[in-house]
Structure 1
Amino acid sequence: MTQPTEAPRTTPTPLHWKLVIDCANPQSQADFWAAALHYEVEDNNALIERLLELGAVPREAVVEFHARLAFRDLVAVRHPDDPYDPDSGTGLGRRLLFQRVPEAKSVKNRLHLDLHAAAGEREGEVERLEALGASVLRRVKEPAGEWVVMADPEGNEFCVQ
């Protein structure tokens, strides 16, 4: 009698993801966050040119941004060391995508970024971020630690540890 064989177990492939942030002005948010995180604004110029040539997107769906074509309502920033698709300019690793929405932010974020400054560098990092357009909302000192709650230029909260 033959013993049934077990099916090989496979580990699911982790999902690729990006954090999408609703905003009023994707380009200015991308500039702020690229500078804040030392990331790069994605360059989708080649992709957009192909889409325009094919008639797949209307001209009014794009804008000039840093002397390149960009989507009017979407722009992303990516970690400079992560891979990206050279044909589309789209990052394949750590990314933030800024998406234009018609409504203004009205309540506290349910999700936020924590930026981790080097030891002893929190105040310098807070000052740098303020110079980029962020504002300090409050300073927190608890038994569990200290951090600064800040807001980006559109009011989205984030923390500096």
Structure 2
Amino acid sequence: MALHWKLVIDCRDANTLADFWAAALGYAVEDPSALIQRLLADGQLPPAAVVAYGGGQRFGGLAAIRHPDDPFDGFTGVGQGRRILFQAVPEAKTVKNRLHLDLHDDGGDIEGLVARLEQIGATRVELVDQGPAGRWWVMRDPEGNEFCAAG
């Protein structure tokens, strides 16, 4: 039986990074506001663990995104399919990622993809051109995590 999983990314600002990656991938940011309200009302969550963000409430150190076509729990907002969780940690990123995402534009428009990613906060690092084997840009998200963009 296959396991249910999510990718967890350590970061400094979970909500900002979730917004970036949701825009980059065309994913939906999970809305935990109903869950937060219940946890606060029941005294199970201290108010200090919640931040005002984007006109609503989110967890201060956690934010997640999900594929828009996958099922999700309507109350908690938690996706039940392809999902990325961003988790705030105290230490800054210091070395190259050992795991990264490759983003592909199915139409082959690598420059259009890279330009769109730059508009939402990514930066170009290096163009890799391996001839017939492929061509892609190594990029960084707003917190410096490397990923690749290819046409």
TM class, shorter-length: over 0.9
Matched to 1:149, the amino acid is: V
- Picking from 36, 41, 62, the partner of 2:50 is 62
SS at structure 2 position matched to 1:99:
strand
Q: How does 1:85-100 map to 2 (within 5 A)?
A: 85-100=73-88
The alignment-based identity, stated in percent, is 59
How far apart, CA to CA, are the structure 1 residues paired with 2:32 and 2:148? 30
SS at structure 2 position matched to 1:93:
coil
Q: For residues 10-45 of structure 1, what are the alpha-carbon distances to aligned partners after superposition, in whole Å with 9 as ceiling and x for unaligned?
A: xx2x11111111111111101111111111110000
Matched to 2:97, the amino acid is: N
How far apart, CA to CA, are the structure 2 residues paired with 1:150 and 1:20? 19
- Which position in structure 2 is the counterpart of 1:51? 39
Matched to 2:145, the amino acid is: N
TM-score by length of 1: 0.90
- Which position in structure 2 is the counterpart of 1:35? 23
- Which position in structure 1 is the counterpart of 2:142? 153
Say if 2:14 is the partner of 1:26.
yes
Say if 2:130 is the partner of 1:142.
yes
List runs of 5+ in structure 1 lacking aligned partners: 1-11
Give the drift of 1:158: 0.4
How far apart, CA to CA, are the structure 1 residues paired with 2:55 and 2:108? 38
Give the drift of 1:120: 2.7
Rg: which structure is higher? 1
How far apart, CA to CA, are the structure 2 residues paired with 1:66 and 1:129? 21
List runs of 5+ in structure 2 lacking aligned partners: none
Query: More displaced, 129-138 or 140-149?
Result: 140-149
SS at structure 2 position matched to 1:32:
helix
Q: Which runs of 4+ in 1 moved over 3 A?
A: none
- Which position in structure 2 is the counterpart of 1:6? none
How far apart, CA to CA, are the structure 1 residues paired with 2:60 and 2:128? 37
